[in-house]
């Protein structure tokens, strides 16, 4: 099997590695087209330069992604890591990859004269380990035995459905058409994975779960463990953790509560005079509209209890995803149901429940570009969108801040459809 031809321009790499800033220059690599485009192979190479500078790269020819690592010594932590995406049109019979390094940092990669798109952060394991990670998170929270004992009474529980879906994907891979109907759930699962990793103070880039003990006190964890086994509260809990994680990613201080009759958590945002007590609820598709009034009334009481007479802002986070139909195309316009519900909530807030400064509506918008029966590639997108509805005369008016009005995330999958198999290519999670 032909190995990639590797050539280094070591004259421009610093030799005295006493100071990382001396590592500046270029590394040139020559690769045959077969190594860049051969299916089901992951070509890779390692270069060791005098004074033990280690340069390691690997390429996924299916996804047109490459990962480049730079270290001082083998086996020691990297000093720089980057990931890039290239186009199949950039590949020739003989290929030259040039990597530019400045003061110990990889700054640019060029393939045959074309600058590659930087897709860092990126984990080589992202292709499938999202599902291994999500399965492990569920087992860590609920206990592995929960999924194997008394299964018949748990098969309709959202946590069990997700756990079984993860198992199926890990055992059989993605299948077409088997998993097509699960794509909205899969994308939501990956988005919530990201939130659980952040909330546990794990490593979201490497898909490493931390510990829920990092989210709150033992009493908070006890509350979470009791709510997650309740199929009716599972969605409320995921909304809480997802929204809390968004604030954690912005370095806002989130303090979960554990007392009965209080809001779910307190948020402290730099520049805001008072804490924001937040309560999270999910409203199902077949629930009566009167449920919105009930949720706001209860949250108003819980915010009062949480504040203990101190000044604060009050926020009710309501997930209405199950009421939103997939849009024909993604736009920034609010769906008709969001507009209807917003008007109804504005009416509810008109004169009553003044401890509620605002209501934040959450909903998921799922879309897929590309018909797998007609073309081999599709793009799957799930946007977690929000809309802030302010109380006209609240006890405390929320600051006019984009931090609160633009909360949300986006998950994207690029998928190649193959007969009865989906190749999971890339993942990006973006915050707005």
Please report, for the domain that includes residue 92, its CATH number.
Answer: 2.60.120
Domain boundary among 82, 97, 118: 118
Closest CA to 394 of 316, 338, 283, 317: 316
My answer on whether 112 and 134 are in the same domain is no
What is the spatial distance between Cα 142 and Cα 164, in angstroms, rounded to a whole number?
14
Range of the domain at 21: 10-118
Q: Check residue 430 and give its pLDDT.
A: 55
Domain boundary among 118, 136, 158: 118
My answer on whether 272 and 290 are in the same domain is yes
Report whether 130 contacts 207 (CB < 8 A). Answer: yes
What is the spatial distance between Cα 109 and Cα 90, in angstroms, rounded to a whole number?
13
Closest CA to 79 of 140, 24, 136, 134: 24
My answer on whether 289 and 152 are in the same domain is yes
Q: Check residue 34 and give its pLDDT.
A: 65
- The CA-atom distances, in angstroms, between 325 and each of 182, 305, 321 are 15, 36, 8
My answer on whether 109 and 145 are in the same domain is no
Instruction: Split the chain (432 residues) into runs of 10 and give each run's mean pLDDT.
Output: 46 56 76 62 60 73 76 73 80 83 86 84 52 84 90 91 87 74 85 84 75 87 88 92 89 90 94 93 93 97 95 96 83 92 95 94 89 73 91 92 72 62 46 52
Report whether 408 contacts 163 (CB < 8 A). Answer: no
Q: Check residue 427 and give its pLDDT.
A: 46
My answer on whether 49 and 156 are in the same domain is no
Q: Check residue 368 and give its pLDDT.
A: 85
My answer on whether 268 and 150 are in the same domain is yes
My answer on whether 313 and 169 are in the same domain is yes
- The CA-atom distances, in angstroms, between 361 and each of 16, 54, 346, 347, 358 are 57, 50, 12, 15, 10
Q: Check residue 82 and give its pLDDT.
A: 85
Report whether 82 contacts 68 (CB < 8 A). Answer: yes
Closest CA to 321 of 246, 385, 248: 385
Indicate the number of domains in the chain.
2
Domain boundary among 56, 90, 118: 118
Q: For residues 338-361, b (16+ Cβ closer than 10 Å) or e, as one string?
A: beebbeebeebbeeebbbbbbbbb
Whether residue 79 lies inside any domain: the answer is yes
My answer on whether 141 and 110 are in the same domain is no
For the entire predicted model, the pTM comes to: 0.68
My answer on whether 324 and 341 are in the same domain is yes
My answer on whether 102 and 171 are in the same domain is no
Q: Check residue 56 and give its pLDDT.
A: 79
């Amino acid at each position: 099997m032909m190995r990639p031809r590797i050539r280094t321009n070591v004259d421009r790499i610093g030799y005295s590695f006493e100071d990382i800033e001396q590592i500046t220059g270029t590394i040139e690599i020559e690769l045959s087209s077969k190594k860049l485009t051969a299916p089901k192979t992951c070509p890779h190479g390692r270069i060791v330069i005098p004074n033990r500078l280690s340069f390691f790269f690997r390429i996924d020819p299916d996804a047109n992604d490459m990962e480049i690592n730079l270290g001082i010594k083998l086996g020691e932590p990297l000093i720089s890591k980057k990931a890039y995406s290239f186009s199949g049109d950039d590949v020739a019979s003989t290929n030259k990859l040039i990597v530019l390094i400045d003061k110990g940092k990889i700054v640019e990669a060029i393939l045959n004269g074309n600058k590659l798109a930087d897709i860092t952060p990126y984990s080589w394991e992202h292709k499938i380990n999202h599902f291994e990670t999500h399965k492990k998170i569920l087992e860590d929270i609920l206990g592995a035995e929960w999924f194997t004992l008394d299964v018949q009474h748990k098969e309709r529980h959202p946590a069990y459905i997700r756990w079984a879906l993860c198992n199926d994907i890990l055992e059989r891979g993605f299948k077409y058409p088997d998993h097509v109907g699960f794509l909205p759930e899969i994308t939501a699962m990956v988005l919530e994975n990201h939130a659980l990793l952040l909330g546990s103070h794990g490593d979201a880039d490497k898909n490493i779960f931390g510990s829920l003990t990092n989210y709150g006190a033992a009493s908070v964890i006890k509350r979470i463990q009791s709510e997650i086994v309740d199929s009716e509260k599972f969605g409320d809990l995921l909304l809480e953790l997802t929204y809390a994680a968004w604030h954690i990613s912005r370095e806002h201080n989130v303090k979960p509560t554990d007392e009965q009759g209080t809001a779910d958590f307190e948020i402290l945002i730099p520049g805001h005079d008072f804490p924001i007590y937040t309560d999270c609820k999910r409203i199902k598709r077949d629930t009566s509209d009167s449920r919105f009034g009930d949720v706001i009334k209860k949250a108003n009481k819980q915010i009062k209890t949480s504040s203990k007479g101190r000044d604060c802002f009050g926020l009710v986070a309501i997930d209405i995803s199950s009421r939103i139909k997939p849009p024909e195309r993604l736009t920034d316009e609010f769906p008709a149901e969001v507009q209807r519900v917003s008007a109804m909530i504005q009416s509810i807030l008109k004169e009553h429940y003044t401890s509620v400064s605002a209501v934040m509506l959450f909903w998921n918008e799922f879309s897929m570009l590309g018909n797998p029966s007609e073309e081999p590639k599709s793009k799957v997108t799930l946007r977690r969108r929000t809309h802030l509805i302010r109380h006209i005369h609240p006890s405390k008016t929320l600051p006019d801040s984009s931090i609160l009005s633009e909360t949300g995330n986006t998950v994207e999958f690029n998928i190649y459809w193959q007969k009865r198999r989906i190749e999971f290519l890339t993942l990006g999670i973006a915050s707005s």
